[in-house]
């Protein structure tokens, strides 16, 4: 198996989709690196982008064309100033020129040099081909596959051997829930200890802490921004942002001026049952409203499900434990990341492969596991919580209206977060050794369900709500 780090499962990027935005963006970056090994980019005379399958069918709503172009310009999606995006794309379209890796201006007619092909390539439903032509008449062409969660591969998988070798260096090689449970028992360690030990083979403690701090900052900032931004989301569905109004009703007149002060202020608000539900929903909605407007979020494990994990972690910090600190954040994210990697290795985190169970279902399982760890759950209970959360998302389809990551996607994050909290509570009160369904069984079942699911329910906007409700209805 290949090594998967927590920072593979939790990536900083730009909305609205990890597979349809972040993936193609990174593919464009990788195309540049490969082309530079063989050609002088300053001699490039033309560029062509071909989108296939799900990348084509929902590409407009998922900003796949925009991401592909910005990738070819050479921008890094983790640091790109998203406030510049609209102006940047408008300039490319108006001037009909793309600055290839910032080195040479190449003629680029948006509607001609980016083509949407309904054809599905055999290797994966999400495919993009880049082609560059140079002054000597030679061409360079590469096809990339965005397999979910911002992961990008090619058919030959040249890096697979390197990743497998790294995995062999892990003291505890975990690919299934049973592996994690066995190592915990053999070593008499917590799940968190086992996971952290593995991560330390890839980077130092200081690097891990810095990476988690960066991830948490983006999560917190996206919740804060979403709760303080009103208006209508872009795309034509006329979806009104709801986190703003909900937040105003909940926060009252408590003073604050930064995201960190905001977190502390929330701890002073009323925490009756209804308010807890509303706060958790508000956090999740906020993140995915930012995501839907092409803002910066953390892929967790995908953009479409980016609100679940921050919402549940924020619930713990604001409501469950007012003394919660960075050590709790680190434990939550490490445990959640490990559960996500088990799903990625045993099934999929791509909606184009498995429907929304692969996104909201996995994120809910990850969040449930992280929360259970913080609540003092043993390794068996952690896996039990993840299993419960996924079990009640099995079969969930991906049918975004108009191809936008808005309806039903945004609300699903709120539902996934609430389910994660409930799953954690049930697991904490339960006996994992008496559980009838294991995490590994539900992973296997999820993958079989994904294979059985009709293609039109896998991020194509050709079935479900996507055909029952149209733009004219909105």
What's the mean pLDDT in 346-375?
97
CATH 2.40.30.30 fits 18-160, yes or no: no
pLDDT per position as a tens digit, 232-243: 999 999 999 999
Q: Is the pLDDT of residue 421 over 80?
A: yes
State the pLDDT at residue 85. Answer: 94
Centre a 10 Å sphere on the Cβ of residue 248 and count the other Cβ atoms it contains. 13
pLDDT per position as a tens digit, 171-206: 999 999 999 999 999 999 999 999 999 999 999 999
State the pLDDT at residue 156. Answer: 73
State the pLDDT at residue 469. Answer: 86
Instruction: Tell me the chain's radius of gyration from C-alpha atoms.
Output: 22
Q: Is the pLDDT of residue 155 over 90?
A: no
Q: Is the pLDDT of residue 472 over 60?
A: no
Q: Is the pLDDT of residue 366 over 60?
A: yes
Domain ranges of the chain: 18-160, 164-473
Q: Is the pLDDT of residue 330 over 90?
A: yes
Q: Is 464 left (phi over 0), alpha (psi -120 to 50) or beta?
A: left
- CA–CA gap between residue 156 and residue 150 (Å, rounded): 18
pLDDT per position as a tens digit, 253-281: 999 999 999 999 999 998 899 999 999 99
Report yes or no: 36 and 82 within 8 Å, Cβ to Cβ: no
- CA–CA gap between residue 114 and residue 93 (Å, rounded): 12
Pick from 249, 403, 216, 415: nearest CA to 325:
216
pLDDT confidence tier of residue 416, bands split at 50, 70 and 90: very high
- CA–CA gap between residue 304 and residue 302 (Å, rounded): 6
Q: Is the pLDDT of residue 162 over 70?
A: no
State the pLDDT at residue 12. Answer: 96
Q: Is the pLDDT of residue 17 over 70?
A: yes
Q: Is the pLDDT of residue 329 over 90?
A: yes
pLDDT per position as a tens digit, 124-138: 999 999 999 999 999
């Amino acid at each position: 198996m290949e090594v998967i780090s927590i920072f593979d499962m939790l990536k900083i990027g730009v909305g609205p989709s990890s597979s349809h935005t972040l993936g193609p963006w990174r593919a464009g970056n990788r195309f540049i690196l490969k082309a530079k090994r063989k050609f002088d980019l300053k001699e490039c005379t033309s560029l062509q982008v071909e989108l296939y399958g799900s990348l084509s069918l929902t590409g407009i709503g998922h900003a796949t064309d925009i991401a592909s172009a910005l990738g070819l310009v050479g921008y890094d999606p983790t640091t790109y100033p998203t406030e510049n995006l609209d102006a940047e794309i408008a300039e490319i379209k108006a001037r009909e020129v793309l600055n290839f890796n910032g080195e040479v201006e190449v003629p680029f007619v948006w509607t001609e040099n980016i083509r949407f092909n309904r054809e599905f390539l055999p290797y994966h439903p999400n495919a993009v081909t880049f082609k560059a032509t140079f002054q000597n008449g030679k061409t360079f062409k590469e096809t990339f596959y965005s397999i979910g969660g911002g992961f990008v591969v090619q058919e030959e998988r040249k890096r697979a051997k390197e990743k497998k070798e790294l995995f062999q260096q892990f003291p505890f090689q975990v690919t299934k829930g049973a592996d994690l449970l066995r190592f915990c028992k053999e070593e008499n360690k917590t799940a968190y200890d086992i996971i952290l030990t593995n991560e330390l083979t890839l980077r130092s403690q200081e690097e891990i802490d810095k990476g988690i701090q960066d991830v948490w900052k983006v999560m917190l900032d996206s919740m804060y921004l979403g709760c303080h931004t009103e208006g209508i989301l872009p795309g034509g569905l006329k979806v009104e942002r709801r986190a703003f109004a909900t937040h105003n009703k909940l926060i009252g007149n408590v003073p604050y001026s930064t995201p960190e002060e905001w977190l502390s202020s929330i701890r002073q608000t009323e925490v009756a049952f209804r308010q807890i539900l509303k706060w958790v929903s508000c956090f999740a909605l906020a993140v995915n409203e930012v995501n839907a407007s092409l803002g910066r979020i953390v892929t967790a494990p995908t953009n479409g499900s980016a609100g679940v994990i921050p919402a549940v972690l924020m619930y713990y910090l604001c409501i469950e434990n007012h003394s919660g600190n960075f050590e709790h954040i680190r434990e939550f994210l490490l445990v959640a990341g490990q559960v996500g990697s088990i799903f990625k290795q045993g099934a999929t985190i791509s909606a184009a492969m498995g429907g929304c169970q692969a996104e909201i279902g996995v994120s809910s399982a990850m969040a449930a596991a992280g929360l259970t760890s913080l609540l003092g759950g043993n390794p068996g209970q952690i896996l039990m919580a993840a299993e419960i959360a996924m079990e009640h998302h099995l079969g969930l389809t991906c049918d975004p209206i108009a191809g936008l990551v808005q309806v039903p996607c945004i609300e699903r994050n709120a539902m996934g977060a609430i389910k994660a909290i409930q799953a954690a509570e049930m697991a904490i009160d339960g006996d994992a050794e008496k559980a009838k369904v294991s995490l590994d069984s539900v992973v296997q079942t999820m993958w079989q369900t994904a294979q059985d699911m009709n293609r039109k329910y896998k991020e194509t906007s050709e079935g479900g709500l996507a055909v029952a409700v149209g733009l004219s209805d909105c």
